[in-house]
Amino acid sequence: MEPIQQNIEQVRSRIQSAVSNSGRTDEVILLAVSKTKPASLIREAWECGQRHFGENYLQEGVEKVTTLEDLSDIVWHFIGPLQSNKTRSVAEHFHWVHSVDRLKIARRLSDQRPEHLPPLNICLQVNISNEASKSGLLPEEVPVIAAEVMQLPNVQLRGLMAIPQPCDDPEQQRLPFCKMAQLLTQLQQQFPDRPLDTLSMGMSGDLEAAIMEGSTMVRVGTALFGARSYSNSDLNS
Ligand SMILES: *Cc1c(COP(=O)(O)O)cnc(C)c1O
């Protein structure tokens, strides 16, 4: 068996165990984070049945989207920091954006979404560990920004995303994820008619904790594709 296929099966079984341990019956989507990895490896993963892929860097991501245009029903997620002068290309090439942390970014994505495409799915990124250096909305800002984003015609608000402060203790890992789940519940109550179905949280080192707290989409890089040439510490600055 190819290593990539083995890794996908391993991660899928970690997800399955966490789902059954938490007594859930719903599905958790595996988002394969392919930043810094070649298009050929993404193609292999696709051949193993993987469909959702996440990219952090715009130019690199757009190159892969274009190279892999022949792969049917592949779903591209932009998950990296997003500057407002880069929104057009994201709006044109991706199906999802997880890292929306300002109304201005959401407005531009909506304005720049090509007419022939369905609305762009977006998540609001939340600075759930309240780290001074990190991007993301503060939890208390979320309801107001969400209400504004819902007015935009060409984006569809699907939920919330977070990258909590790394932590090795599985019990401690659950705290920020629990806060995220509460925040999404609050939004769902405030906007019952909206498809707010997504909690994008959990990575290679904490996906079990995230699933225990209700994650619907885990973003996994290292456990699928191996180590990257640089660390996670600069991914969210
Ligand atoms: C790189 C990255 C991941 C994947 O992290 P791993 O620890 O390699 O699984 C998830 N989310 C975001 C936003 C990332 O930038």
pLDDT at 221: 98
pLDDT higher than threshold 80 for residue 234: no
* Average predicted confidence (pLDDT) for the chain: 95
DSSP string, 175-222: HHHHHHHHHHHHHHHH-TTS---EEE---TTTHHHHHHTT-SEEEESH
Instruction: For 74-117, write each residue's pLDDT tens digit.
Output: 999 999 999 999 999 999 999 999 999 999 999 999 999 999 99
Tell me if 232 is assigned to some domain: no
Coil vs helix vs strand at 222: helix
Q: Is residue 204 part of a domain?
A: yes
Site to probe by mutation for ligand 1, drawn from 60, 232, 234, 236 as the one with most ligand atoms within 8 Å of Cβ, is 232
Q: What confidence score (pLDDT) does residue 200 get?
A: 98
**pLDDT band (50, 70, 90) for residue 231:** low
Residue 217 has pLDDT above 60, yes or no: yes
Q: Which atom of ligand 1 is nearest to the CA of 223?
A: 9
What's the pLDDT score for residue 107? 98
Is residue 117 included in any domain, yes or no?
A: yes
In a domain, 234, yes or no: no
> In this structure, which amino acid lies at residue 9?
E
The answer to whether 66 touches 45, Cβ cutoff 8 Å, is: no
Cα–Cα dist 23/109, whole Å: 37
Q: Are 122 and 110 in contact (CB under 8 A)?
A: no
Instruction: Specify whether the CB–CB gap between 58 and 80 falls below 8 A.
Output: yes
140 Rama sector, left if φ>0, alpha if ψ -120 to 50, beta otherwise: alpha
B/e letters for 68-92, b = 16+ CB within 10 Å, e = fewer, are beeeeebebbbbbbbeeebbebbbe
From ligand 1's centre to the CA of 221, what distance in Å?
5
Question: What value does the mean pLDDT take over residues 194-211?
Answer: 98
Q: Is 196 within the bounds of a domain? A: yes
**Per-residue pLDDT, 142:** 98
Residue at 148: amino acid letter = E
Closest CA to 31 of 107, 81, 97: 97
List, chain by chain if needed, residues with CB within 6 Å of any ligand 1 atom. 33, 35, 56, 79, 163, 203-205, 219-223, 232, 235
pLDDT for res 237: 39
Which of ligand 1's atoms lies nearest the C-alpha of 232? 1
HEC secondary structure over 117-141: CCCEEEEEEECCCCCCCCCCECHHH
Q: Is residue 231 part of a domain?
A: no
Task: Evaluate whether 94 touches 106 at the Cβ level (below 8 Å).
Answer: no
DSSP category for residue 233 = G
pLDDT at 236: 47
Q: Ligand 1 centroid to 202 CA: how many Å?
A: 9
With respect to residue 236, please indicate whether it lies within any of the assigned structural domains: no
Q: How many whole angstroms from 115 Cα to the centroid of ligand 1?
A: 31
Q: In whole angstroms, give the CA distance from residue 108 to residue 88.
A: 8
Report the largest interatomic distance among the alpha carbons of the chain, rounded to a whole angstrom: 49
Q: What is the CATH number of the domain that holds 68?
A: 3.20.20.10
Q: What total of structural domains would you count in the chain?
A: 1
**Dist. CA 232 → ligand 1 center (Å):** 7
- pLDDT given for residue 37 in this prediction: 97
- Nearest-CA residue for ligand 1 atom 13 is 79
- pLDDT > 70: percent of the chain: 96
Tens of pLDDT, residue by residue over 112-156, are 999 999 999 999 999 999 888 788 999 999 999 999 999 999 999
Residue 180 lies in a domain: yes
Residue 32 near residue 52, CB atoms below 8 Å: yes
pLDDT tens digits, residue range 38-59?
Answer: 999 999 999 999 999 999 999 9
The pLDDT of residue 230 is above 70: no
Q: What is the pLDDT averaged over residues 156-167?
A: 96
- Domain coverage including residue 201: 3-225
